């Protein structure tokens, strides 16, 4: 194995593919790792530009860029993949294929056909369900019991291209979006390598997506993660798990934002929506139907702490409610 993790010819002795890998966040890293350990050759990585993040607003590289740096790979970070300079770089690389996992920007038509085998997207849903930027989060919030990952050939439409392969994954009753995405990132990485093997030896032909069953999964903003306590407890539970860990569920308490960890529905309660009950059963919050038990909370400007500890300090009055 060389320092980039190349092992030799791809499956079946076919010549390895020259690849440009496109990805940005942590869930894309297992795919890059799997490709580096495959028989294919990753010649460069495309990722989003360094950005400010965290409390100190420090400039940081994406998780994919950090892994590419460690592997000694060239890293391309155009502000937009539409830039002529990037398109010229892509043409010069003469790659056979561009696998892409959560890159974070639309690939322009001018770039789609430059690799001989196009761009192959690993998408974390069972297409045509949940096309868009947040498929795992929307699958959880909708109460799906099974999800998965697909590889498909990228085209101009939003996640509409023909599908190469699929893996499925059950959704556990307490899964958060982070839990589920972590598992799909690993199984999806294996699927992506198998897809590229199939493309390399000509054994894989993508199949058109069915016309039925299309649903959309737009990006979830912080405002969308505010808890609506008038919803039934099981819906509140699913929505909180769907936005955990990012952007993170939140409500308000005495005018300030209060972040919430996963909650747990409890069988019954006479509490009004948002009303609190502190007792031996924990910190309960009323919803439109039933109640939920709070787990961990994070008041504005403070650390994460158990809900019981927070309640001892907050001392809620009988008429006070979350989200009021």
The Cα 291–Cα 284 span in angstroms is 6
Cα torsion through 163, 207, 90, 4, rounded to 10: 60
Residue 4 has pLDDT above 80, yes or no: no
Q: What percent of the chain has pLDDT over 70?
A: 94
Confidence of residue 15 (pLDDT cuts 50, 70, 90): confident
Question: Mean of the pLDDT values across residues 138-153?
Answer: 97
Task: Give Cα separations from 269 to 54, 77, 87, 97, 250 (angstroms).
Answer: 38, 53, 60, 56, 22
Residue 324 confidence (pLDDT): 81
Burial class (CB in 10 A: 0-12, 13-18, 19+), 146: exposed
Residue 3 pLDDT level (bands cut at 50, 70, 90): very low
Length of the chain: 324
Q: How far apart are the first and last CA of the chain?
A: 60
> Binning pLDDT at 50, 70 and 90, where does residue 14 land?
low
Q: pLDDT tier at 11 (50, 70, 90 boundaries)?
A: low
**And the tokens for 157?**
């439409």
- Mean pLDDT across 132-142: 97
Residue range 263-305, pLDDT digits in tens: 999 986 689 999 999 998 899 999 999 999 999 999 988 999 9
Mean pLDDT of 41-59: 87
**pLDDT at res. 52:** 81
Q: Which among 140, 124, 230, 134 is positioned nearest to 186, based on CA atoms?
A: 124
Which residues fall within 8 angstroms of residue 236, CB to CB, at 6 or more apart? 227, 228, 229, 263, 265, 287, 292
pLDDT recorded at residue 9: 46
Q: Where are the beta strands (DSSP E) in the chain?
A: 18-23, 41-46, 51-53, 58-60, 75-76, 98-101, 119-123, 146-153, 163-170, 249-253, 256-260, 264-266, 276-279, 282-286, 291-293, 296-299, 305-306
**Would residue 70 be called left, alpha or beta, if left means φ above 0 and alpha means ψ between -120 and 50 degrees?**
alpha
Query: pLDDT at residue 56 above 80?
Result: no
| Tokens linked to 111 | 């770039």
| DSSP 8-state code for residue 14 | P
Q: What is the pLDDT confidence band of residue 8, given thresholds at 50, 70 and 90?
A: very low
Is it the case that residue 136 has pLDDT exceeding 90?
A: yes
Count CB-CB contacts under 10 A for residue 177.
23
Query: How far apart, in Å, are the Cα atoms of 241 and each of 48, 124, 132, 184, 294?
Result: 27, 17, 19, 16, 12
pTM, 2 dp = 0.90
pLDDT bracket for residue 1 (50, 70, 90): very low
The pLDDT of residue 320 is: 92
The better pLDDT of the pair 303, 9 is held by 303
C-alpha to C-alpha distance for 110 and 101, rounded to whole angstroms: 19
The overall average pLDDT reported for the chain is 93
pLDDT (tens digit, 9 = 90+) per residue, 100-129?
A: 999 999 999 999 999 999 999 999 999 999
- Write out the E strands in 192-281: 249-253, 256-260, 264-266, 276-279
**Can you tell me the distance from the alpha carbon of 4 to that of 43, in angstroms, rounded to the nearest whole number?**
10
- Going from the C-alpha of 198 to that of each of 13, 39, 103, the distances in angstroms are 12, 12, 23
């Amino acid at each position: 194995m060389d320092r980039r993790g190349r092992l030799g010819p791809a499956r079946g002795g076919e010549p390895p593919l020259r690849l440009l890998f496109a990805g940005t966040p942590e869930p894309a890293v297992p795919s890059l790792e799997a490709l580096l350990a495959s028989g294919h050759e990753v010649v460069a990585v495309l990722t989003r530009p360094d950005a400010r993040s965290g409390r100190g607003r420090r400039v940081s590289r994406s998780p994919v860029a950090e892994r590419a740096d460690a592997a000694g790979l060239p890293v391309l970070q155009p502000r937009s993949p539409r830039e002529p300079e990037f398109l010229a770089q892509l043409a010069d690389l003469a790659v056979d294929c561009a696998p892409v996992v959560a890159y974070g920007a639309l690939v322009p038509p001018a770039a789609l056909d430059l690799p001989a085998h196009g761009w192959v997207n690993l998408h974390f849903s069972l297409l045509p369900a949940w096309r868009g930027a947040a498929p795992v989060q929307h699958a959880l919030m909708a109460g799906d019991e099974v999800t998965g990952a697909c590889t498909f050939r990228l085209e101009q439409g939003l996640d509409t291209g023909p599908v190469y392969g699929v893996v499925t994954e059950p959704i556990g009753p307490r899964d958060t979006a982070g839990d589920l995405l972590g598992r799909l990132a690993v199984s999806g990485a294996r699927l992506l390598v198998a897809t590229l093997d199939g493309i390399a030896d000509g054994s894989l032909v993508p199949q058109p997506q069915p016309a039925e069953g299309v649903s959309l999964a737009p990006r979830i903003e912080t405002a969308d993660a505010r808890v609506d306590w008038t919803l039934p407890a099981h819906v509140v539970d699913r929505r909180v798990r769907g936005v955990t860990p990012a952007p993170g569920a939140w409500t308000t308490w005495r005018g300030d934002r209060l972040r919430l960890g996963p909650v747990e529905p409890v069988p019954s309660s006479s509490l009004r929506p948002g009303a609190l009950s502190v007792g031996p059963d924990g910190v309960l919050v009323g919803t439109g139907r039933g109640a939920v038990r709070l787990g961990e909370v994070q008041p504005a400007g403070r650390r994460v702490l158990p809900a019981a500890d927070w309640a001892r300090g907050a001392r809620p009055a009988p008429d006070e409610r979350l989200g009021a």
